[in-house]
Structure formats: C-alpha cells, structure tokens
Amino acid sequence: MNVLRFDHHTAPYNALRIAEELTLLEDHYVGDRCLDCVTKHLLRIRAYAIEGVELPDSHVKPLLERAREMAEKHLRLAHLEGSPERIPSMVEEVRGLRKEIAKQLFGVDVTVSHHH
C-alpha cells in the first residue's frame, strides 16, 4: 500500500500537501531564511488549508484550520523587523503541526522522535 496515495480533491490530500510545505518551510527557517521562499510556502499552506476545509473527508478539518491560522500568523511575523529572534519558536510550531498531520494521516506517532 502506498501511504502517500490520497484521492485528489479531498481534505486529507490537502493536509498531505500542507505537511510537505511545512517540511520545506522548516528547512528555510533553519537554513537560508530566504524571505521570498518562506512567504511562498506560507501562502501555499494557507491556500491548501482554505481549500481543504471545503473538501470531502474533512476529519482533518481542525488541523487545516490550525494550519491556516499558523500561516497567517507567520506571514505577519516573517515580515516584521526583528523576526530572526522569533525563528526558534516558529520552527517548533511548524515542526509540531507537521508531526500532528503525519500522525493523523498515517496513524504513526512521530511526536516521540528526537530526530529532526
């Protein structure tokens, strides 16, 4: 069974796409901190979340709502002066949400892992 196979036009598919964007966003937060790239990933997360809550099979709807709220908050914070000091807490929030989505989609508790 291919665990990454979700039907398009369903909320779980959008949640998977959000998890992928969160992974890329986390890399930018801890790596090059390219503001354009961070903005692009946050906008995609927000768009997938908004679309996903309207799609069928929305048992992941609470996570999609959280993703939208987080993306909007991070868009505001990323464009403020002094935002580098906020990066560690932003990374933790991104990582935590990614792990919650993975647990919901794949049924595996990845929150106990100490590997990043």
The three state secondary structure string of 23-87 is HHHHHHHHCCCCHHHHHHHHHHHHHHHHHHCCCCCCCCHHHHHHHHHHHHHHHHHHCCCCHHHHH
Q: Could you read off the pLDDT of 25-82 as tens digits, one per residue?
A: 999 888 887 888 889 999 999 999 999 999 987 789 999 999 999 999 999 888 776 5
Q: Could you read off the pLDDT of 12-22 as tens digits, one per residue?
A: 999 999 999 99
Query: Using CA atoms, how far apart are residues 88 and 54, in angstroms rounded to an integer?
Result: 32
Tokens 């598919």 locate to 13
pLDDT at 22: 96
Query: Using CA atoms, how far apart are residues 90 and 108, in angstroms rounded to an integer?
Result: 24
3-class secondary-structure state, position 3: coil
